[in-house]
Structure 1
Amino acid sequence: MSVENITQKILSEANNYAENSIKTAESQGAEIINKAKQEADLIISDKAEKSNAEIDVIKSRKISAGKLQERKMILAAKQDSVKKSFDKALEKISTMSEDKYIDYLVEEISKIPNCEGEIILNDEDRKKIGEKLVKAVNENLNVDKVVLSKSTVQTKGGFILRNGDIEVNNTFEMILSSIREGLTFEVANELFK
């Protein structure tokens, strides 16, 4: 499944989640506004002797507070939906087939300028595909420039390429973190059209 298909599917699922979250937030916001109006009406009846201007100010404040609460709830629902979208993307990426995963890693490692050093994987990947990956990268580079590190890293997937003091962190979490800021606005726009 291509990254675009995964992204499209994630956006679709996140959009459904976001719509439900927003409907819930709007419903709760409407309840808050209705409650605020009821409280304002009680204040009006209790304080009938006060001037109409003062009553309108109190009612306006209660309604404004309810609307502010509603906006906060909608914003929280949107932020939660965006977070879930990125979490879902990480989950989808980390469950690709072994062959596609190795091909992806070989391609990404081979793109690194002066590609050499030790490849650090998570414990599961090291055991499962470590040797295959190193062999495939070296074949792709036509020279033995990378080795499998004895060290591991705690990550869902991806790799770190270490050459002395220099590390290239291409773990899935780091990739999503680096694109998250740029994509958050775009994802939010897609989810909340």
Structure 2
Amino acid sequence: MPLEDILRKIEEKAAQIKEEILTAAKAEAESKLKDAAQRGSALGTGILEQAYQEAAQIESIAVSRAEMQKKQMLLEAKQAVISQVFDEALKELRDMHSEEYKELLIDWISHRADGTEEVIISELEKEILGEDFIAVANQRLKEMGKRGNLTVAYSPEYLGGGLILRRDKVLDNLTFPAILRFMKEDLEVEIATMLFKETQEGESVS
């Protein structure tokens, strides 16, 4: 379903939820006002004024709840779309031509390695990357003024594409799933912050 259709359905559902919340809040507020009016006739106008304030507060809270639920629904929809986009991105990365894939990994190594690490790649990709993969990576590092003493280890498990750099006990996870997961988490946080910014500001003011 296109994003526009998802958002339209959310708007419709949010409007329905908002109406239900406001109706319940209005009924509660009217009940308080009615009760206050009955007591106020005997005790003066103070109770009635307090009831009006409580009624206004109830409606304000109801509106905030409705808006919060709407934003939560929007967030969940956008997260679903983000997941779909990143799943497609992962598939495209895995479908790269072997030479393009090899060059991408060597480029990552040249930017992240100092030349003394162990490069861990999937056993399944040994043939795709070629026997000269580490030699080419080491040569690239030397051309950049770094050490060219990388070694290679093959993981029997499929890493999902990409590689892992190991420096002693420190692992630098440059596999496709890990990189996309970090990007996805950052994007989801950014979207959540954007959607709930007004609510957070309102809470800080109150």
Determine if the TM-score, normalized by the shorter chain, exceeds 0.5. Answer: yes
Larger Rg computed on CA atoms? 2
CA distance change for structure 1 residues 170 and 63 in 2, over 3 Å: closer, same or farther? closer
- Which residue matches 1:120? 120
Instruction: Give me the whole-angstrom Cα distance separating, in 2, the residues matched to 1:83 and 1:141.
Output: 35
Give the C-alpha shift of residue 30 in structure 1. 0.2
**Which of 165, 170, 175 matches 2:179?**
175
Superposed CA deviations along residues 93-135 of structure 1, whole A, max 9, x for unmatched, are 2332222101111222234454245421134323543535335
Instruction: Give me the whole-angstrom Cα distance separating, in 2, the residues matched to 1:61 and 1:168.
Output: 47
Identity of aligned residues (%): 27
Q: Is the 8 A contact 2:115 2:148 kept in 1?
A: no
Matched, 1:66 2:70: no
Give the C-alpha shift of residue 57 in structure 1. 5.1
- Partner of 1:119, secondary structure, is strand
Give the C-alpha shift of residue 26 in structure 1. 1.9
- Which residue matches 1:36? 21
Q: Is the 8 A contact 1:119 1:146 kept in 2?
A: yes
Give the C-alpha shift of residue 32 in structure 1. 0.5
Give the C-alpha shift of residue 184 in structure 1. 5.4
Correspondence 1:136-151 to 2 at 5 A: 136-138=136-138, 140=140, 145-151=149-155
- Which residue matches 1:92? 92
Structure 2 residues without counterparts, runs of 5 or longer? 38-50, 194-206
Q: Is the 8 A contact 1:120 1:153 kept in 2?
A: no
Normalising by structure 2, we get a TM-score of: 0.58
Give the C-alpha shift of residue 159 in structure 1. 0.9
- Partner of 1:148, secondary structure, is strand
CA distance change for structure 1 residues 120 and 79 in 2, over 3 Å: closer, same or farther? same
Matched, 1:23 2:8: yes
The alignment covers a number of residue pairs equal to 174
- Partner of 1:131, secondary structure, is coil
Superposed CA deviations along residues 28-81 of structure 1, whole A, max 9, x for unmatched, are 110111223444566678788444836655555444432332222223333444
Q: Tell me: higher relative CO, structure 1 or 2? Use CA pairs within 8 A at least 6 residues apart.
A: 1
Q: Is the 8 A contact 2:138 2:148 kept in 1?
A: yes
